[in-house]
Structure 1
Amino acid sequence: MHIYAIGDIHGHIGLLKAAHDLIADDMARHGKGQVVHVGDLVDRGPDSRDVVDHLMQGQARGEDWVVLKGNHDRMFTRFLNDPGEQEPGLRADLGWLHPKLGGPATLASYGVAKAADRPIPKVHADAIAAVPQAHRDYLATRPSMHQAGDCLFVHAGLRPGVPLDQQTETDLVWIRDIFLIEVESFGPLVVHGHTAIDQATHYGNRINLDSSAAYGGPLSAVVIEGREAALLTPQGRKKLPGPPPMLFQKG
């Protein structure tokens, strides 16, 4: 059994289509497998609307794709529902329209210009008019966890010591430090994104797929067989690197 996974997309349709092409090439050689996208479809990149359309259309035509919810997808949905509601995982001094978070780029992909420079009520009204209800429904209903084979797929990670059925969505899409320093097994191999690094890396108990597409890096697509994983490249499969030994130490 093998399964494919794609890291944080962040509004880059060209990178996403290239990742799907790499997966299609690998499937042609090794057989079909499910494809899991670990969330953060939107924000920062220029093509968020096209990314959502591409994923919706693929699933509608029967592609075996799983699309998880990331914290940026949830912030987008929350803004559309109520721009005054604070996102629980976000610092109180930040809002989704802050340029650091990439919300204005997402709205620009829907035709809403200068979102960072205008009053929020006006931006919100324009966003409601511009974002199709089908996109809103799609993003709001993305699952926050998916289990397949020996793997558990989430956007950000798990809270150590908490049973899977008691994990909160906020942790699943936002958690970092307490998850990232954990060296013990979570049971299943946790496959996630959220924390940007230079290259997809296998840590033994988890795999981080966020190779910084949001910041000019590549979008990683991997194939997982059991608890082993390989990066898909134009030259074929390349075993995922592990971290330097010091990264296995808590503290």
Structure 2
Amino acid sequence: MAFPETAPRVPEGTRIYAVGDVHGRADLLGRILAEIERDVTRNPCDDIVEVFLGDYVDRGPSSQEVLRMLQADPAHDGERICLKGNHEEMVLDFLDDPELLVLWMQNGGRPTLQSYGVSPPAEVGRTTIGQARDQLREALGRDLDFLKKLKLSHVEGDYLFVHAGIRPGVALEAQDPEDLMWIREPFLSHAGPLPYFVVHGHTPVEAPEIKPFRLDIDTGAVASDVLTCLVLEEETRRFLTTG
């Protein structure tokens, strides 16, 4: 199957709540989770699936709290799936190679370190970056296992959920993980159909960007105060938002 020739659907009896990039905004995550619960109460459904699209950490002030909130059981009787974004990958890369500290901090890593009680070194040297890495590894605790187990993609019916997108012309099973977490072009400007309708984040937009074959729900929460949740049921789409 390829889109946009046919209207994408989720399985009958299933409702999907897909949430865009959180980036350390635990306050907004709490609000969107409350919106989801209110929606479930108003509109009961047998099979509820929450899908978080990655980039839970960095830039915002409360990365640790966001990760702890995501590991909690949903208030409803449903499933929660958390995907890996490029910022989760940067945390893991830093733990493997502390020389990546400066690059990570340039991309919003400083607030993540601070949320775990780790002071970024005033002077960057081999000893100081190693100490920062060791301190973060210890402070992460169970959150490190959570980060390591994050999935790269999830499929429900005709929809593919992924952090950044996919490389056109490449089968899902052959996609490069780096593309799934980092890609912009040629995905964003691809004019042809894809094997799934892709729901993604990674590229900030002022409002959900709906294209014939993809939907971007990264509404730049860390700066805009707007965290977006896409609600999918059968062939319908609607949105919940903190804005």
TM interval, short-chain normalised: 0.7 to 0.9
Change (3 A) 1:192 1:79: same
Q: How big is the shift at 1:79?
A: 0.8
> Partners of 1:233 and 1:109 in 2: how far apart?
25
1:1-251 correspondence to structure 2 within 5 Å: 1-32=14-45, 33-58=48-73, 63-84=78-99, 95-98=103-106, 101-115=107-121, 118=124, 119-132=128-141, 134-233=142-241
Describe the SS at the equivalent of 2:215. Answer: strand
Change (3 A) 1:121 1:60: farther
TM-score by length of 2: 0.85
Q: How big is the shift at 1:233?
A: 4.6
Change (3 A) 1:162 1:227: farther
> Partners of 1:43 and 1:56 in 2: how far apart?
17
> Partners of 1:217 and 1:182 in 2: how far apart?
29
> Partners of 1:139 and 1:213 in 2: how far apart?
21
> Partners of 1:212 and 1:105 in 2: how far apart?
17
Change (3 A) 1:234 1:191: closer
Q: How big is the shift at 1:83?
A: 1.8
Change (3 A) 1:212 1:85: closer
Number of aligned pairs? 225
Decide whether the 8 Å contact of 1:48 with 1:106 is kept in 2: yes
TM-score by length of 1: 0.83
> Partners of 2:220 and 2:53 in 1: how far apart?
13
Decide whether the 8 Å contact of 2:23 with 2:60 is kept in 1: yes
Describe the SS at the equivalent of 1:41. Answer: coil
> Partners of 1:125 and 1:105 in 2: how far apart?
17
Decide whether the 8 Å contact of 1:35 with 1:66 is kept in 2: yes
Describe the SS at the equivalent of 1:95. Answer: helix
> Partners of 2:225 and 2:61 in 1: how far apart?
15
Change (3 A) 1:60 1:127: farther
Change (3 A) 1:129 1:68: same
Q: How big is the shift at 1:123?
A: 1.7
Describe the SS at the equivalent of 2:205. Answer: coil
Change (3 A) 1:233 1:38: closer
The Cα RMSD (Å) is 2.3
Q: How big is the shift at 1:186?
A: 1.2
> Partners of 2:150 and 2:193 in 1: how far apart?
26
Decide whether the 8 Å contact of 1:151 with 1:227 is kept in 2: no
Q: Unaligned regions of 5+ residues in structure 2, if any?
A: 1-13
Q: How big is the shift at 1:31?
A: 2.0
* Counterpart residue type for residue 29 of structure 2: L
> Partners of 1:61 and 1:80 in 2: how far apart?
34
